[in-house]
Amino acid sequence: MDKHPELFEKNLIEMDPPVKAFMPRLKYSAKKASVEMLKTFLEGYNVTDAVKVYKTLKKNGVEVDQEIKQELLELVCFYNEEQVCISDKLPKSRMYIV
C-alpha cells in the first residue's frame, strides 16, 4: 500500500468499523503540518511522523494542547520512539530456534 497508494484510493470493501492500520497512510509534509495532522498520527500510532509534526509545530510557534502533548509522550514512551510494524506482531512471521 505504501508503494502504490493510488491503487487503494477507493474503498472497495466496506469495513465497519474502518480499520485504520490497513488504510492508506497520511504522508508527513512540513508545509502541511497542523495539530489535526498530529492528532491523526497519534490515533494511527504513527510514532515517527507524530514526533516530526510536533517538532515542526514547535519550531513554527504553534501552540499544542496539553492533552495532545500527553498523548504524544505516552505513545513515544510506550513504543520507545520506534515505528509500530504490524508484521512484527504476527506469530507466524517469527522464527523459533530449537
Q: How high is the pLDDT of residue 68?
A: 96
Q: How is the chain split into domains, by residue range?
A: 26-86
pTM for the predicted model, two decimal places = 0.65
Distances (CA, A) of 45 to 26, 50, 85: 12, 8, 10
Q: How high is the pLDDT of residue 28?
A: 83
Q: How high is the pLDDT of residue 27?
A: 83
- Using DSSP's 3-state secondary structure scheme, residue 12 falls into coil
How many other CB atoms sit within 10 Å of the CB of residue 33? 20
Cell numbers placing 5: 497508494
Extract the residue ranges of the chain whose pLDDT is less than 70. Answer: 1, 11-15, 18, 20-24, 84-98
How would you class 24 by CB atoms within 10 Å of its CB: exposed for 0-12, middle for 13-18, buried for 19 or more?
middle
